[in-house]
Structure formats: C-alpha cells, structure tokens
Chain A
Amino acid sequence: MVNTITNRQMFFILVLTLSAYSIIPLANRMAETAGTGAWLSLLVTSLIFMLPLLGIVYLNNLFKGKTVFDYAPKLIGKAGTYLISMYYVLFFLLFLFYLVLEVGVVLNADFFPETPLWIIGFICIPVFCYISNKGITTVARLCEVIGMIFIITGILVHVLMITQGKLNRILPLFSSAEIENYVRGIKPAILPFIPMSLLLTIPFAKQNGKKSTKTAVLTILFLVFFYVLVVESCIMKVGLNDIVNYKDSLIVAIRDTAPTFFEFFTRLDILYLTVGMTGLFMGVIVIMTVILEFVCRMFAQVKRSVISIALGVMTFSAYLILIGISDFDIFILDIEPYLVFVSAMLIPSILLIVAKLKKVGKQGKRHAV
C-alpha cells in the first residue's frame, strides 16, 4: 500500500511535529500562567487531547489506506469534504506560516543575529519544499531517523539542565490556592497539540491495527513527560521570575547550562543548534507535507511538484510579509484554542459520529475479511 506509515513512524511524526517548535517558548508561557504547577496544566491538557487523538486513530483504522479527503465523501458528501479540506488547508497554512516565521526569528535572534531574516527563509523554504514533495512515506522514514536523535539528545540535555538547576525554583508542585492559575495554564499548554489533526491526512495500513491505538496513547504520554521535563528543567535553570522575560526560554536555559563534568558538553546550545533545529525543520516539513497531501487530492489534475513550488512561493511571500507584522505570534496564540477545537475535536467527532450512525465500522470489517 502506498503512502502509509508504520506505528513507529506515527510516533516520531507526532513527537517531532508537536514538540519541535512548541518546546522553545513553552516554559515561558507556562511559567507566566501556571507557575510551578505547569506540570499539572500540561498533564490535564494532554489528557484532554488524548481523546480526539484516539478518535482520529480510530477513523484511520476504519478507513485503512485512505486520508480524510478520501473517506469523508462517504460520510458527509463531496461538498462537506471540500469544506473541511479547505478548513484544514487554511488551518495548516496558518500554522506553517507561523512555524516558518518562528524558525527564522529563533535562528536570527539566538544564533545568527547578523543574517537578514529573509535569507533564512530563502535558504530554508526550498529545502522544506523539496523534502515534503517526496511524500509522506519518505518524510516518515526521515522522521524515524531524526526523531530518535532528537529524543535522545533532548532528554540528555534536559537531564543535564536538571543537574545544574535549583530544585526550589519548581516548588511547590501543587498548592490548592493556585488552582485558578493551573486552569489558566491550560490555554498555553494547547500550543504543543495544535497540529495533532495532521494524522487525518496520513493513511494507515492494515499492519497498523489495534497497536496504533496503543501507540497513540503512548505518544501522548511520552509527549507530556517530555514537555514536563522541558518546562521544569528550564524553570530550574533560569528561575520562575526571570524566565517570563525570555520568549525563547528553552534556548536561554540551554545557554545558561554549562556542565563542567563533560568537557565536550559545556556548550549545549551548539548541540541544540544542530539536533534541536533539525527536529524543528522536520516538524515544518511534516506540516508542509500534510498541506501538500490535502491540496494534491483537491486538485488531482495538477502535478505534485507544481503544487510544491506554489506552496513554497506562497510560504516565502507570507514569510516576507509576516516579518513586518510584530504581533502575528500573539494573534496565532489568541485564536489557537478555537482553531484546535475545530480541527482536532469538532471535525473528527462529526466524522466519527456519522461513521457510527452509518455503521461504517461493520462494513469496514467485512471488507477487511
């Protein structure tokens, strides 16, 4: 079956796409709202998002080898399918523009202050386009390789940060007087779950089976562990009061860490520049691939490479425009809860309910037999 992914690839795609950029400002946003109870807000948010993820995995298993664009006509008709596809394309485009802009800003602000922003986009976007044009299977294989390095390095770096940090800074872990803040912390904790609905565009194979549900649960559990590790290690290193001053809190915290017991590890920021940034690039590539998958199905008569180039040009143009708009990230963060509600919860729920009402599951099983 073409363009399908394995459960392991699903894990790495989700980890890279969901965590790649979001972990950079996560500690700052969580510290601002939830304070030392950031772990609780993250845990609650991840549990909330586990349900829609399981729903999406269920739909993918129900319609094996198909994307939402392929099976939605049976459930909500062709017009409905085009409508939701348009929504997903716009949603992922908006997120792509946000990600590419943030990649440029992070690279420029923290690593290459002398390099003009447009140059970063000019070099990065064609590479993203080229890789995403290869299709989801190639991208998934790449994610498998890079994801493994990203996770090992990420955990190592954050454990090193914990050894250098101060425990008092993340205490108290829970206080009943702070519950209001923990609830406020749910909104910024949504950021790492924004692109979760990308799985709708990735077809599952027969081999994915019931294990895919287990993988989805494990992915969310791993992600929440990783997010908590990132946030707590950053707060332990920089401090709760100071971290709110840094948008790119992760990079500041990494720069603050200089473990003396590993001579070759004293500059962790260089390690992050290579491995962390590669993970971030993969996240952008996955989003770009998802958009391509949608658009290629909507405009089947147009060549994929032409759509890739058009997407690249559009992304670069948007990037150039957005460089001049200072509050674009705030705008995205303001509307993210609504966008995510529709993309990850409302639409999959509608599809799932209609599938259940039409008893598609039973038919699916008969087909499988």
Chain B
Amino acid sequence: MLFKKVLLLIMLIWMSICIAGCYDSMDINSQSLITAVALERENDEYVFYVELPNLMGETGQDGSGGGKQQYKVVRGSGKTLTQARQDLNYKNDKPLFLGTVRVLILTQNVAEHGIEEYMHRMQNDNQYRKAVNVITTRVNPQDLLSATPENNVSVGFSIEDTLNTLENAGQKVAHTSSDILENLASKTCFVLPTFDLENAKISCTGYTIIHRGKYHGFIPEDESKGLVWLLGDDAKWTYVIPYKDYEVTVEARLISRAIKPAYSNEKLTLDLDFTFDTRIMYLSKDVGMNDFVQEQVNQELQNVVLGDITDTIKKSKQLGCEYLGFKDFFRISYPDKIRHIDWLQTYLDSSINITVKSKIKPGGLANFKTYGLQPEES
C-alpha cells in the first residue's frame, strides 16, 4: 500500500515536471511572424527585407486601422548573411519566426551574385518550410513589399496566391525552395518566376534563368508560352488565330508531352511530341465554322504552338543554358552516359524534332457548325 502511495507521489511529481514544459510557452502575439522575406545585395552587403503582420492591432501613423498598416517592412543589412540577420534581430522587439513565410524574394542583384549561399542557409533552417515559393524581382524589395496587393493585404500571401492561381490555370512554372535545392545539387539550370511592379501593382513579368546558381538571363512573360508547354503541368493557353477577315479565339490544353532522347555517335537527338485538345471559345465576327474551317484553324494553331516551342528552345540554345528539363529525360534514358558527358555542350549540339498535334474538341457555349454559317464555306 505504501509502495503504491510512493509510486503515485512519484507519478504526480513526474507529471508536474512534464506539464511544467509549458512554463515558457509564448503567445502567438509575442513572435514576429514573417510572411515574406526579400534578399537584396546593395553596396557589397546583404540586405534582408521582411514583411511582418502587425498582430498587436497597432494602427498606422494616420490612425487608420486597416489596409497596409497591418503589415510592416523591416530592413536589416550586413556584410554576411549572418550579420544581416543579426541586424534584423536588433530591429525587432520580438523573435522572428520563419515558419509562416509564404514567399522568398531574391532580387536580380542577389541572383547575379549567386543564390547558393542563401539556399544552403535555408536548407538547414528548421523553421523554414521547404515548400515555400521562391521568386525573383528586378525592383527594389522595399517598393515591392510596400505595394498594395489587389485582394490581399500581405504581399507574401498575394504573391503565393498569384502563383497558385496561375499554376492551377496551367500558365505558370513555379518552384519551391526544395526544387531549387535539388536543381542546385544536380547542377541543373532552372527558371524562377519574376514579379515586378507595373503601375505600382505587383505583376508577374517573366522568368529569371539561373545557371550554376547565378543569374543567366530573363524571359519576358509574353515569350514564356513555350516554356510552360515544355515545363508546366496541365499547361493551358488561349490563342487568337486570324482566319480570313476575322479572328478565332481558341483554348489549347496540353494532353500529353513525350520527350524522347536518342544518343548515338556522341550526338543527341531529341524527339518532342505534344498533343493538345483545343476548344473554340468565340469568333470575332458573327460567322459559322464548318469542319473545313475548324481544320484550317487547327492547323494554324499547331503552327503557332510549334513556333512558341521552337522559339523557346532557340532562346535556350542562344543563351547557352538548358533550363527546359531535357537533362532529366536524358538521365532517365542514359543513366550511365550522363555522368561522363558534357551535358550542356551535348545539348547545344543536339538536333531537336518537334511534333505538335491538336484536335478540336466540341464544347463551348455556341454550336459553331450551324451558327451563322456562311454559304461559301458550307
């Protein structure tokens, strides 16, 4: 009986020790939750800009409670990343928490200097989510983080939402920090989405090419359709195809993408096969479309898509950088060869055959076969 009482006492003491683990618990308001981190390089120094929500309910200087005042931008700089972070710590009264970061913004200056060091720092930081989106910017991060997003008060959340929306629409290639670390480890060239300011609004303006951990070039958004056809999941674009005196707006959706490398006599040949489903959305004039016209539009669409893909590959070869994911397909087909060849040179010397097939699918609101059909085309 005494033994049981002693045991109970020990258990109670034990439980109290365990429960006491909560003694240093912190309220969520006592941490600075970062929603966006921007890294800049200015005057040979690293500069951190962090976007912090104002959880204490403070208002702006004008006394207003809503809007941008809910988020603050804090700057910290230093010769090294550690010093820059230390400077940031000096400027915050509460400990910074990186687990809530929605987007990491790397400026073009940082990209030119090299992103590897920061990515490795991130790799070993337990607070950082590996699923955080990474983008680049060509504008001052202070300006970018101070911009007013359309539907969101936080720039970090806004950029993440924009990326998700565009990715779900099949119109964007985005990378998380984990993807970037894998690309850096496998010495693979890759692209990062670029967000700049256009008329004081945050806008996705294209892609930054990263080669060997450094900036290598820029692809404007209007030249990026081919890139999404080559790299994107469930890629989908809308094209306006001119036909006679009117225009046909069609939506092309990628159904399959087959990339087959063939390597013989130290010469690489890449066969790219794309299959699309196409849906006619609307016409610029009140005319109809029979099978013949639809086929003409379809042929034209195939040419346009082929042109987009060809231009993207040409640009990649001009820049001397393979960021189109072909290396992966070559590795899968020739796992023993990839270790012994100069991949970049092999790619630059390669010949590429592209086949684009598309099929017009029925759909849309109007029945184009019967609606307003012109006599000469029927």
Partner of A172 from the list B14, B176, B332 (CB cut-off 8 Å) is B332
B164 sits at the interface (CB 8 A): yes
- The listed residue (B178, B186, B328, B336) touching A177 by CB distance below 8 A is B336
State whether A237 and B178 are in contact (beta carbons under 8 Å apart), knowing that A172-B335, A177-B336 are contacts in the complex.
yes
Q: Which of B18-55 contact A (CB under 8 A)?
A: 18
A242 to B18 Cα, complex, angstroms: 37
Does the CB pair B336–A256 fall under 8 Å? no
CB distance from B35 to the nearest CB of A (A): 15
- Minimal Cβ-Cβ distance residue in A for B18: A123
B contact residues, total (Cβ < 8 Å): 24
A242 touches B181 (CB 8 A): yes
Q: Is B16 an interface residue (CB 8 A)?
A: no
In A139-194, the 8 Å CB interface with B consists of 168-169, 171-172, 175, 177-178
**At the interface, yes or no: A326 with Cβ under 8 Å from chain B?**
no
A8 at interface, CB cutoff 8 A: no
Q: Return the chain A residue nearest B124 by Cβ.
A: A245
Closest residue to A238 on the B side, CB-wise? B178
Is A77 in the interface zone, CB < 8 Å from B? no
Q: What residues on A are CB-neighbors of B179 within 8 Å?
A: 239
Contact A257 B131, beta carbon cutoff 8 Å: yes
* A241:B335 contact, CB within 8 angstroms: no
Q: Is the pair B328, A256 in contact by a Cβ cutoff of 8 Å? A: no
B126 in contact (CB, < 8 A): yes
| B335, A178: Cβ atoms closer than 8 Å | yes
Give the complex CA separation of A255 and B164 in angstroms.
19
Contact B336 A260 (CB under 8 A): no
Q: Are A239 and B129 in contact (CB under 8 A)?
A: no
- Distance between Cα atoms of A171 and B332 in the complex (Å): 6
- A177→B164 CA distance, assembly (Å): 40
Query: Is B200 in contact with chain A by the CB < 8 A criterion?
Result: no
Q: How far is the CA of A245 from the CA of B123 in the complex (A)?
A: 9
Known contacts A123-B18, A168-B332, A260-B164: A239-B130 contact under CB 8 Å:
no
Q: Does any Cβ of B come within 8 Å of A333's Cβ?
A: no
Contact yes or no, B186 A239, CB < 8 A: yes
Q: Is the CB of B130 within 8 A of A241?
A: no
Among candidates B14, B123, B164, B178, residue contacting A239 with C-beta atoms closer than 8 Å:
B178
Q: Are B185 and A255 in contact (CB under 8 A)?
A: no
- Residues from 247 to 303 in A contacting B, C-beta threshold 8 Å: 252, 255-258, 260
Q: Hey, which bits of chain A sit against chain B, CB under 8 A?
A: 35-36, 109-110, 113, 123, 126, 168-169, 171-172, 175, 177-178, 237-242, 244-245, 252, 255-258, 260
- 16 A-B pairs with CB atoms under 8 Å apart are A123-B17, A168-B328, A168-B329, A168-B332, A175-B335, A177-B336, A238-B182, A239-B178, A242-B181, A242-B185, A245-B185, A255-B130, A255-B131, A256-B178, A257-B131, A260-B164
